[in-house]
Amino acid sequence: MKKTSTRLADGRELLYYDARDDLVRDETDRRPLDPVSTASELRRDPLLGDTVVVASHRQGRTYLPPADACPLCPSRAGRDSEIPAADYDVVVFENRFPSLAGDSGRCEVVCFTPDHNASFADLTEEQAALVLEAWTDRTADLAELPQVEQVFCFENRGAEIGVTLGHPHGQIYGYPFTTPRTALMLRSLAEHRERTGGNLFDDVVRRELADGERVVLEGEHWVAFVPYAAHWPYEVHLHPKRRVPDLRALDDGARTEFPQIYLELLRRFDRIFGPDEPPTPYISAWHQAPFHGEGAADREEFGLHLELFTIRRTSGKLKYLAGSESGMNVFINDVPPETAAERLREVAST
């Protein structure tokens, strides 16, 4: 992998990740851009103890542009985009409309492919491996920033999720705090250790492998299963069999096998509801241990894993977060986890 760092016209950093070492990335961003102006503010909820990011400057961000005006496509045919090059493998750049910036953290965009009409599931194993390299590299770099406590790599896919750009891409957030969801996991981790003396992540993976009813895919280094108490109609957790705290700690075997397992999982998600349904909307989220702050004490006990879920509950119907979920954070799942796992095993790609 070759990494090239450059700057866009407004000063934001852009990084090319190329499979070939001989590529030269010296294109210039010719757009007349004003410097990025942000107004992010972190406000702590005194009742719940969590943090809300107020980012009013994001109201003017690009919203569902036509394909010929997509800012994530390469710059071609006289049209300049966020990527100055006429082609690329994987690109990461600072978000023009970040939720977090400066002392409040950092937000980045990850473009998986120059093909506007593709999806992550369409990537080759080599391309998916390069994305994993980019995720890992950004985790390592952001971990060095004093204002970043936790790194979150994720992909929102589909208009139903709220995606505002149709080009296949993900995002990376560098949070200046440990996120509430991770804090809950760390609390459960500590309680389990005190109660049993064991590691919660290890014991969950061991239980799912022994039971087998909710396992969807298993390789030498990874296992994917529907969790026992799945929140979403179709939800899969992907764990490395050797527990590590974050992407940087994955060994060569896990890195090599990941594209095979993950691409197969995404392709099965697109088959859940049948061949006549549009592509399945989903959120794919990496959970990594915090680097600093309150969560860092247990980082070596934390288990890196990816959570993949869709908000579609059946053909043509979405799972809305209504009163119980949005008002009280009590999820009501319409699909038994065992049924979801069986369906995901049935739709193996050919």
Given the structure tokens 């070759």, which residue do they identify? 2
d(Cα 110, Cα 131) in Å, to the nearest integer?
8
d(Cα 103, Cα 322) in Å, to the nearest integer?
35
Coil, helix or strand at residue 327: helix
| Residues designated catalytic | 169
Neighbours of 6 (CB within 10 A): 17
Give, as one character, the DSSP assignment of residue 277.
S
d(Cα 312, Cα 331) in Å, to the nearest integer?
15
- The burial class, CB within 10 Å (0-12 / 13-18 / 19+), for 321 is middle
User: Which residues are CB-neighbours of 244 under 8 A, at least 6 positions away?
Assistant: 250, 303, 304
d(Cα 334, Cα 233) in Å, to the nearest integer?
6
